Every structure is written in structure tokens, then in C-alpha cells.
């Protein structure tokens, strides 16, 4: 059996270890923000460790893009920056707790998926032959959802045997 002094030393060692881990997490999270930029460098997005937007820089060349293209690129770049920040947060917990820890598993379970390589987009218009070719190559639409059959009318009292709990027996 441990003496009170041994128990106190063990307890203080555990507290010191917890404090060191907390300091490491705090330092790691302070540096876990992320940023990403467009391929042409005209848009830069910065985010905090929790993914909140902290900065948006647009060059004069970015302002020459259409509003639809600009908003689409900003959102794409923000997602890249958020994923980068989330990966840094996960790395912080991996360094402190280890990759086998429950905390690390929980954090990495919610990592945003990596962005897929951009596929060339088909134009929004087509001549009849092109439209038919694209329609033939596209997967068929899912069948419409079926509505459930209506429930038969039943007296709700029948569900409980028809006896009232307030009647005397």
C-alpha cells in the first residue's frame, strides 16, 4: 500500500503531466490557423484554428473576375484553408495524445474531405446532338420517392384495450 507521501508525489506528477499537455495543446492551437490562395495568387483566405474566417485579400486582378467566378473561388479557397487548419489541429493532438488516442480519433473523424482535382466543366449550353450524348452518358436519375401507404383509421382507444384507467372495477 502507498504511503500518503507516495500518493501525493504520484498525484503531483499526474498534474504536472496534464499541465504540460495543456500547454502543448494551447501552443499548437495558437499556431494551427491556416491560409490558402488561388492558383493565380489573386485571392488569399486566412482562417482561425476553428475554421472561422480571419482574413480575405483580393488583388485588383481578382476584381476583374465575374461575381460568380469570384464567389466560387473564394469559397473553394476558404474550404482549402479550413481543411489545412483542421489538419494542424489534428496534428497537435496527435503529438500530445498520440494517434491511437480517442481524442485524435474523434478529431480526425470530422476532418473535411480533401478537395478533388477540378474537372473541366461542360458548357451550360449544347446543341441537340451534344445534349443527347451527354444525357446518354449521364447516370439515370433516381426513381421518385414513394409515399407511405395511408394508415387505416382506428380508434385510438383500441390501442389500449378500451378500458379507462379512471373507471372503477
Residue with cell 474550404: 79
If pLDDT is split at 50, 70 and 90, which confidence band does 50 have? confident
- Other beta carbons within 10 angstroms of residue 16's beta carbon come to 10
CA distance 58 to 46: 12
pLDDT interval class at 26 (50, 70, 90): confident
Q: What is the mean pLDDT of the chain?
A: 79
* Domains recognised in the chain with CATH numbers: 4-114 (3.30.1310.10)
Which phi and psi angles does 109 have, rounded to 5°? -65, -30
- Grid cell, residue 120, equals 473541366
Q: DSSP code of 166?
A: T
For the segment 84-123, what is each residue's pLDDT rounded down to a tens digit?
A: 888 888 888 888 888 888 888 888 887 777 766 544 444 4
Provide the residue count of the chain: 169
* CB burial of residue 20 (10 Å; 0-12, 13-18, 19+): exposed
The C-alpha cell at 14 is 499526474
Please give the full DSSP string across 26-67, using - where no structure is assigned. HHHHHT--EEEE-TTSSEEEEE-TTS-EEEEEE-TTGGGS-H
- In tens, the pLDDT along 123-141 reads 444 445 555 666 666 666 6
Helices and strands, counts by H and E, the chain:
4, 3
pTM of the model: 0.57
Amino acid at each position: 500500500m502507498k504511503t500518503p507521501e507516495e500518493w501525493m508525489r504520484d498525484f503531483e506528477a499526474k498534474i504536472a503531466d496534464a499541465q504540460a499537455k495543456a500547454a502543448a495543446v494551447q501552443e499548437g492551437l495558437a499556431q494551427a490557423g491556416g491560409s490558402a490562395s488561388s492558383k493565380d495568387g489573386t485571392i488569399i483566405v486566412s482562417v482561425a484554428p476553428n475554421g472561422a474566417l480571419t482574413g480575405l485579400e483580393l488583388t485588383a486582378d481578382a476584381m476583374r473576375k465575374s461575381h460568380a467566378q469570384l464567389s466560387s473561388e473564394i469559397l473553394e479557397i476558404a474550404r482549402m484553408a479550413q481543411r489545412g487548419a483542421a489538419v494542424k489541429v489534428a496534428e497537435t493532438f496527435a503529438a500530445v495524445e498520440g494517434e491511437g488516442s480517442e481524442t485524435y480519433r474523434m478529431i480526425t473523424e470530422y476532418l473535411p474531405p480533401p478537395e478533388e482535382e477540378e474537372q473541366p466543366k461542360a458548357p451550360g449550353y449544347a446543341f441537340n446532338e451534344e445534349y443527347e450524348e451527354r444525357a446518354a452518358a449521364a447516370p439515370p436519375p433516381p426513381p421518385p420517392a414513394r409515399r407511405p401507404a395511408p394508415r387505416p383509421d382506428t380508434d385510438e382507444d383500441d390501442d389500449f384495450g378500451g378500458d379507462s384507467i379512471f373507471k372503477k372495477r
